[in-house]
Chain A
Amino acid sequence: MGFPRLLGITLQALVLGTLLFLAVARLVGLESGARIFRYQAF
């Protein structure tokens, strides 16, 4: 496997890994009902 292909795979892994982490974090948040509280007068 040449360097450019390895670099491409690394970039893909970084982007997908970050998105996967954020998506799982959001999913955990939604599942546990975590949310940012906003004031409502009624």
Chain B
Amino acid sequence: MEPKVLVINHEKCTGCRRCELVCSVYHEGVSNPSKARIKVEKWEWEGLYIPMTCRQCIDAPCMNVCPVKAIYRNEEEGRVHVDHDICIGCRSCVAVCPFGAMNFNPSEKRVFKCDLCSGEPQCVRFCDMKAVDFVTPSKESLIKKRNAAKKIADAKKLATTMSYEA
């Protein structure tokens, strides 16, 4: 079966940051957005909020750069995993991640990243807007197609109504 991934629709994000909250509580037992695996980046003056988290890359730069091979892909679960027993804390993965999704916890001196909550991502569970969703990659493009088509359909409907009124 095709494993699911986190899919983010930033247009739906209301910027509430509950995803950050539940993520840090679930993983660390503390409320602390700086320890969350997901972070909502904001352009407040334009009302734009973009949740950022690990994309679980197929050809993951973090995995490729790791000098001790502590990072590998779990193909069954579709996620990139850090083995902390092997990790030497060099932070090369933090440096190379194109999304800033690999984080470093200074008090515990170790990197951390999204682990999809072992199959039930809390950010998805708590996001009423479904700005963060958990679907298969092939479905992601189907959903996007449908949404884009809806905009065209709406414009078409509007145009038809207007010409009828005229």
Q: Do A and B bind each other?
A: no
Residue numbers of B with Cβ under 8 A of A are: none
